[in-house]
Amino acid sequence: MKQELIIELFQKFEGACYIFHGMEFWSARYLQEHLGYKEWRNFIKVIDKGKTACHNAGIVVADHFVDINKMIELGKGGQREIEDVALTRYACYLVAQNGDPSKSEIAFAQTYFAVQTRKQEIIAQRLLDVDRVTARERLSKSEKKLSGIIYERGVDDKGFALIRSRGDQALFGGYTTFEMKKKLTVPEGRPLADFLPTLTMKAKDFATELTSHNVIDKDLSNEHAISYEHVENNKAVRKMLIERGVKPETLPRAEDVKKVQRNLDGDEKKLLKTVKKK
């Protein structure tokens, strides 16, 4: 395919995108023309195949293929209502995949929407990774904060470790920290939290913050009272999760948060190099 045609098609597909309710959409009527289909009745068959592919993938078709009507201008100032379909980027990808590959426009669209869809997936995953790293940092800070508060009340590092362990046992339905580490195959010498799902880290963080608040608010001053408070807070958080259908001890192990951080740092370095080259 000639470079000029590639640039032309790229600009057409980018320019055809519009935002509706915060989401990107393309008009099927517009794509029909730029994918080399002269008749709507032929193109609607391709759209139907795309819908079938969407359904077979276990994805709600109505989330990506929205049937709409629009008015078109006729001669002498007249108008006529015609049917159209608003397509998400993913829907466009499925339509292109089910189009006639002999058409150069379809060949380009297959690559274009596949690449753009992959970009969105990468961005979404990066946001999840950032959220996970941030959750781990917040948990570390909240545990450090609690440690400082109870240290001032005569509880040493050993006592804090016991309090935290009892809290884990309450959160994980009776499983100790050691048992959870074994269950999730956490390497020896590494913290359990580094391999917990983001949701569980946030749950631990919330329970820890509650304990810090109540130790001060209730003026708790010994290991037994603080430990009881921390256990009760973790039980309360667990109860909330259970009511929402989540059992913390059954959630799968997540990727090492340090590896996630390294990947994010590596991406940032690559981006900086790209910017400097420009």
Calpha distance 244→241 (Å, rounded): 5
Per-residue pLDDT tens over the stretch 10-19: 676 776 777 7
Model confidence, pTM? 0.61
Per-residue pLDDT tens over the stretch 21-80: 777 888 898 888 888 888 999 999 999 999 999 999 899 999 999 988 776 666 666 677
Q: Which two tokens stand for residue 157?
A: 């590092």
Total residues belonging to the chain = 278
> Would you say residue 192 has pLDDT above 90?
yes
> Quick one: pLDDT at residue 274?
42
Nearest alpha carbon to residue 230 among 199, 201, 204: 204
Q: Which two tokens stand for residue 116?
A: 């753009």
Q: How far is CA 129 from CA 177, 249, 252, 253, in A?
A: 24, 21, 16, 15
| Strands (DSSP E) found in the chain | 18-20, 23-27, 65-73, 79-87
Categorise residue 58: left if φ over 0, alpha if ψ from -120 to 50, beta otherwise. Answer: left
